[in-house]
């Protein structure tokens, strides 16, 4: 039986502008065929077993020709696959979605259009330019700036378009700016009409150039502005100075590498993106459950017999409850044991399991944990410590010295994640990274290992941010000098440090 092909508008660049239905189609797809302008962040929602096909088309550089894309869509559809066809912007606004739908209809393959946010409206919006404005612009048009090259006569009605519409948005028009501007002026548009050219609209690398109709072609050539870009013509461009909001964010234009494990990175990534940063997720580590031997299983099962259970990370919470559930147990088995959580993220993870931490040390270093626990425990008491395979022994030694019995359940390990190595190397080699963030010693050592012998050379012009002094010390031990070191060891504090550093002197 035939499958179904979803012709999805992937939005203009900011991956968060995908529609709810578009995301749902990606999540269930057997096959995903994506374009150059469809942000690859969207592929994070793909099933692990989904077939991914890149069909990017740039000027004079087509990975696949349109007829080949049509053939793939028909082939996978006839094989009964659920296909997500990701197209930049909206599939029916100069996206050739109609052509692909015709091919599918002729082959008898079911399809659906999933509209998307078009760049003709959203790119101006992210530049602070509304395409309509009461008493200024009551009409707008989206026009192709790159017509079918096989046409002998232009299909654009310049004589009407030039003066009949208040705001004109040309997509794919940078290469034809001399023709566009001259035609509009020739047919009555004033030469001093404001024009904005917005490159990579809605993305953190967005560039906006403001000019006039008579000068825009020269100004764009002088600035070296390249596609993809949207050209906006009209008086609404003058509103940009008052309505700019996106490119005034404190981290706008800054490219920041996050090396934290992907399972932990969401809070850091989200906050950096909210502040305008272009975030490169290059996880150097990931966590894996360790095999649970009989002795460790017994420690978990009798957790309720301890005076205190101490969790050193949110991952520890996850793997502890995983081990607990494997024995058909839940939080009721913890009895009257007091709960110590190192860090707000750990406390939050416990809260999600229905447990409120009794002790949350204000300082997240192991030395401070010993100090915080000392008033709660006395000689002869017992504590269960949940840790990874490799960890510092400060807590264990500090409490043992006070006569407290400490049993350690090592439930998981941190291993190297190599999946983003090439991405990280490419960015560092290109010299387009402003900051690299380290949230633990393991992120430091594994990142350096991933990059190899010339790691420090690749990061020579990158500002190194460490969540705290222990992570910073690991950097120094490995010959990498940190530039920003946290005093409060939390993700929000780390973000605040980056903002302060990035805006110093501004």
Candidates 69, 55, 70, 77; CA nearest to 103 is 70
| Residues 478 and 492 sit within 8 Å (Cβ to Cβ) | no
| Residues 255 and 427 sit within 8 Å (Cβ to Cβ) | yes
172 classed as catalytic: yes
| Residues 84 and 25 sit within 8 Å (Cβ to Cβ) | yes
**Up-side HSE of residue 251: CA atoms within 13 Å toward CB?**
25
Q: How many other C-beta atoms are found inside a 10 Å radius of the C-beta of residue 322?
A: 14
Which 3 state secondary structure label does DSSP give 33? strand
| Residues 87 and 99 sit within 8 Å (Cβ to Cβ) | no
> Annotated catalytic residue: which of 21, 23, 57, 353?
57
Give φ, ψ of 230 to 5 degrees. Answer: -110, 135
Sheet holding 484-485, edge to edge: 278-281, 255-258, 435-438, 463-466, 484-485
Token digits of residue 204: 């953190």
- Strand pairing class (463-466; 278-281): unpaired
| Residues 100 and 7 sit within 8 Å (Cβ to Cβ) | yes
Query: Mind giving me the DSSP string for 365-376?
Result: SHHHHHHHHTTT
57 classed as catalytic: yes
Candidates 18, 36, 37; CA nearest to 26 is 18
Any bridge partners for residue 231, and if so which?
Answer: 170, 197
Please name the residue ranges forming H helices in 244-365.
266-274, 294-301, 314-326, 344-352
> Annotated catalytic residue: which of 14, 35, 39, 417?
35
DSSP element (H, E) containing 446:
helix 441-451
- Strand pairing class (255-258; 435-438): parallel
Candidates 494, 257, 261; CA nearest to 388 is 261
Q: Classify each residue of 360-388 as buried b or exposed e, where b means 16 or more C-beta atoms within 10 Å of its C-beta.
A: bbeebbbebbbebbeeebeeebbbbbbbb
- Strand pairing class (111-114; 4-9): parallel
Candidates 52, 5, 49, 45; CA nearest to 26 is 45
Q: To the nearest 10°, the Cα dihedral for 73, 78, 79, 84?
A: 30
The sign of the CA dihedral 133, 136, 140, 146 is negative
Candidates 21, 4, 498, 3; CA nearest to 251 is 498
> Annotated catalytic residue: which of 14, 172, 278, 494?
172
Residues with a catalytic annotation lie at 35, 57, 172
């Amino acid at each position: 039986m035939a499958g179904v092909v979803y012709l999805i508008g992937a939005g203009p660049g900011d991956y968060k502008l995908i529609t709810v239905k578009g995301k749902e189609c990606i999540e269930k797809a057997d096959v995903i065929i994506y374009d150059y302008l469809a942000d690859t962040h969207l592929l994070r929602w793909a099933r692990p077993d989904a077939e991914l096909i890149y069909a990017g088309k740039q000027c004079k550089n087509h990975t696949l020709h349109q007829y080949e894309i049509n053939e793939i869509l028909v082939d996978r559809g006839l094989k009964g696959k659920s296909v997500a066809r990701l197209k930049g912007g909206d599939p029916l606004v100069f996206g050739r979605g109609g052509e692909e739908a015709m091919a599918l209809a002729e082959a008898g393959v079911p399809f659906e259009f999933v509209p998307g946010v078009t760049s003709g409206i959203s790119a101006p919006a992210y530049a602070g330019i509304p395409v309509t404005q009461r008493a200024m612009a009551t009409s707008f048009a989206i026009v192709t700036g790159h017509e079918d090259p096989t046409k002998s006569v232009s299909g654009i009605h310049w004589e009407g378009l030039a003066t009949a519409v208040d705001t004109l948005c040309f997509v794919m028009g940078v290469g034809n700016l001399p023709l566009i501007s001259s035609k509009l002026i020739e047919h009555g548009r004033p030469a001093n009409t404001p024009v904005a050219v917005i490159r990579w609209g809605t993305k953190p690398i967005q560039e906006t150039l403001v000019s006039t109709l008579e000068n825009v072609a020269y100004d764009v050539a002088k600035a070296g502005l390249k596609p993809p870009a949207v050209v906006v013509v009209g008086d609404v461009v003058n509103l940009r100075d008052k309505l700019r909001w996106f490119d005034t964010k404190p981290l706008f234009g800054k490219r920041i590498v996050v090396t934290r494990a992907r399972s932990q990175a969401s809070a850091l990534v989200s906050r950096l993106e909210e502040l305008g940063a272009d975030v490169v997720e290059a996880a150097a580590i990931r966590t894996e459950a360790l095999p649970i031997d009989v002795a460790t299983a017994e420690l978990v099962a009798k957790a309720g017999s301890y005076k205190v259970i101490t969790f050193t990370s949110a991952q520890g919470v996850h793997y502890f409850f995983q081990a607990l559930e494997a024995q058909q147990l839940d939080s009721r088995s913890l009895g009257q044991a007091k709960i110590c959580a190192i860090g707000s993220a750990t406390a939050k993870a416990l809260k999600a399991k229905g447990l409120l931490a009794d002790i949350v040390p204000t300082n997240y270093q192991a030395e401070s944990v010993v100090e915080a626990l000392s008033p709660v425990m006395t000689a002869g008491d017992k504590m269960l410590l949940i840790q990874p395979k490799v960890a510092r022994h400060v807590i264990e030694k500090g409490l043992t010295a006070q006569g407290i019995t400490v049993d350690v359940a090592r439930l998981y390990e941190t291993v190297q994640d190599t999946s983003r190595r090439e991405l990280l190397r490419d960015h560092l080699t290109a010299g387009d990274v402003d900051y690299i963030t380290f949230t633990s010693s393991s992120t430091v050592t594994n990142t350096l290992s991933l990059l190899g012998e010339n790691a420090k050379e690749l990061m020579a012009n990158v500002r190194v941010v460490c969540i705290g002094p222990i992570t910073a010390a690991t950097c120094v031990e490995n010959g990498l000098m940190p530039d920003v070191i946290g005093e409060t060891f939390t993700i929000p504090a780390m973000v605040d440090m980056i903002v302060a550093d990035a805006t110093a002197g501004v």
